[in-house]
Structure 1
Amino acid sequence: MEFRQELETGLLKPIGNTESTLKIKEVASKCRLLRTENGLKVDLTYTGPNASKYLQYVEKHREELTNYLLHPDDADLYEWMETSHQTPITLKKHEKEKLILYVNFDPDTMRLMTGIADENITMKLGTPLMDINLKEMTRNQFKLAIYDMLLLADEISIAMNNVELKKMANIEMVKTYLAEIYDRFHEGPLE
């Protein structure tokens, strides 16, 4: 956020867009699906501050919100698509690419990040699948994070119709490799 100092008062006033961008999860939590004679309708139940912004979001993203509310287990996929600025159409463009799951681990900071990359280990599609700090996780939390990440990768591969990525999302080696990193570098008690 940028600020401008007013000459008369010396106060700093924010300039530019001061509203935070709405996320699909936040908007969906204030909506419900209603069954009408024409099908399903997204109904915004929120009347608080910035209600007009929520309404604009609903109007612009009605189809995504409907799918999100119909399939709450796909929430991670919709959130990932939103943060990586992908749509079902842009994902389909990667159908024939040879894509892999990319793992980057820094033993100094204990940060582990996974994403989708091409054969040259060039990160694709912008947003990581998983970005965690091993120091802050128990073994069970870590196993759940791997599971969620592989589910997300699988959902992305299905949306892309990418056979290579689908193979990687189901591979046992990924889970084994990540578990070895946890065992080798985590100093806390293992659960």
Structure 2
Amino acid sequence: MIKNKYKRYELEAAVMLYLKALNTADTRQEYQFFQEIQSESGFLNPYHGISYSDFVHQAVPERIDASRGIGVAEGLVPDTYFFLWEDTQIVGLFKIRHYLNDFLKKDWGHLAYAILPEYRGRGYGTKGLALAVEVCKGLLPPGEDEIYLSCYLDNTASLRVMLKNGATIHHHNSTDYFTRIKIR
């Protein structure tokens, strides 16, 4: 289970960034985030276009259960959605898998993330990933000493975010870069 220890990151003098797990108290803002961003560049958003009622009564309970390892589909692992907040506004989302199986190690990795379009290019991805790396350090099993990430070859902004957070390019194929961040 995820403990709500919010690490805060100062982007500018008066602006505080922090990660907060999806929860029932912030459903209006969480829902709005999912309506503003579509699936793109490898980031999957299954909640774009659903009703607020379905989000609150189905999606949120399912996501909270998934973060606890309940009802996780075969071949997948527990994961938690952490929203990146700037003070009282959601600016991004980091999906963090608690560990990896062989399939996820090969193709997906521990993290997927998206920053709302109006906040891109302003350092939010870099700062948010730094916070997500700290969450991973507390989440991953003791034997896992690297965070696995991937992005499309043409998503140079995402690759730069990873590299700025200490990632190295492990390998690539015809469509994706695969990076690693050492945490231990």
Is the TM value for this pair above 0.5?
no
- Give the greater-gyration-radius structure (CA): 1
Bigger strand fraction: 2
Q: State the TM-score, normalizing by the size of structure 2.
A: 0.29
Does 1 or 2 have the higher relative contact order (CA < 8 Å, sep 6+)?
2
